[in-house]
A = this chain, B = another copy of it.
Amino acid sequence: VIQRLVVVGVGLLGGSVARAARAHGLAREIVGVGRDAARLAPALADGTLDRAVTDVAGGVRDADLVVLAATVAANERLLPAVAAAVRPGTVITDVGSTKRGIVRVAERLAAARPLAFVGSHPMAGSERSGYAAARTDLFAGAAVIVTPGDASDAAAVKTVTGFWEALGARVSVLDPDVHDRVVALISHLPHLVADALVDAVVRSEPVALDFAGRGFKDTTRIAAADPRMWQEIFLANTDALASALVAFRTALADLERLVGAGDPAALEAALARIATARAGLV
């Protein structure tokens, strides 16, 4: 059991970490850190948090495990202050959706002083955000990618992996570079594409939105997500996203060529190959 778990940023993900840790009895004390005491109040009121503080350095003191759950950019800014404030041995992780940036910050800090940081990326979320959307079961059955660097502390990797598994997640380990390529393909690219689909309709024939059915709604659901969060995600992974866009444009051009060529058998074979790949995702 963790004596003191500190969650920095009590929104959808941080709030769900706190709620799930509480539900599973993983921590004796759960502390929430946020810039705005009023926004921490609901998590305190419903018993998810034991304490809510607005001072990061004070909040993380004497923590056993710190989970950085602000935005990607904010987590990278916060890590040096957190690393300086914790006692030796405190394990730190984050929940950001890109990993090269924060791993780089951690490696720079670790060169000066031992640091038990390992990045995490829980592949769970929602088009909603904020503590009101937090759920006790958000990580149950979800994939969590843990991204140790070359110099990561083995005990910290074990602690962080065990923590996510205790919340019900399936944990995989990936190199931070591979992680960022993977999420560019399965998360950032689909998001930008969904945005472009909505925008293409809005700009060319807005009345068409009146007839949007389940297919269009499913395909563009993520385009309703928080613009601030996604702006930061896109800008944190620009190069990997650009590579993913090259692969996407090639695939789209090949399909358009098949449609234009008017060869039913060749088009159907390509669609069948893709449908089989997609049907393999349960």
What residues of chain A have their CB less than 8 Å away from a CB belonging to chain B? Answer: 123-125, 142-143, 145, 172, 181-183, 185-187, 189-205, 207-228, 230-232, 234-235, 238, 241-245, 247-248, 250-252, 254-256, 259-260, 262, 264, 267-272, 274-275, 277-281
Can you report 30 residue pairs joining A to B where beta carbons are below 8 Å apart? A125-B214, A181-B205, A183-B211, A185-B208, A186-B215, A187-B216, A189-B200, A190-B197, A192-B255, A192-B256, A193-B219, A193-B252, A194-B278, A195-B270, A195-B274, A197-B251, A199-B254, A199-B270, A203-B247, A212-B281, A217-B281, A219-B221, A220-B281, A223-B278, A227-B272, A232-B264, A234-B259, A235-B259, A241-B259, A242-B260
When chains A and B are docked, how far (Å) is the Cα of A46 from the Cα of B203?
Answer: 47
* Inter-subunit contact A143/B213 (CB<8 Å): yes
Q: Is the CB of B201 within 8 A of A186?
A: yes
Chain B residues near A222 (CB-CB < 8 A)? 215, 218-219
State in angstroms the CA–CA spacing of A27 and B194 once bound together: 42
Cα–Cα, bound, A74→B197 (Å) = 30
A251 interface neighbour in B199, B241, B250, B269, Cβ under 8 Å: B199
The CA of A183 and the CA of B207, in the complex, are separated in Å by 11
Given contacts A231-B267, A267-B235, A268-B228, contact A274 B187 (CB under 8 A): no
Q: Which partner residue on chain B sits nearest A225 by CB separation?
A: B275
Closest to A122 in B: B213
- In the docked arrangement, what's the CA distance between A124 and B224, Å? 22
Secondary structure at the A interface, as helix, strand, loop or mixed, is helix
> How far apart sit A198 and B234, CA to CA, in the bound complex (Å)?
20
Contact (Cβ within 8 A) A186 B198: no
Cβ contact within 8 Å between A224 and B262:
no
- Residues of B contacting A279 with CB < 8 Å? 224
Bound form: Cα–Cα A183–B199 in Å: 15
CA distance A245 to B255 in the complex (A): 11
Chain B: minimal CB distance from A149 (Å)? 19
Among B143, B185, B218, B277, the residue within 8 A (CB) of A221 is B218
Are B193 and A197 in contact, with the CB atoms below 8 A? Answer: yes
Q: Is A271 touching B185 in the complex (CB atoms < 8 A)?
A: no
Partner of A231, one of B256, B271, B277: B271
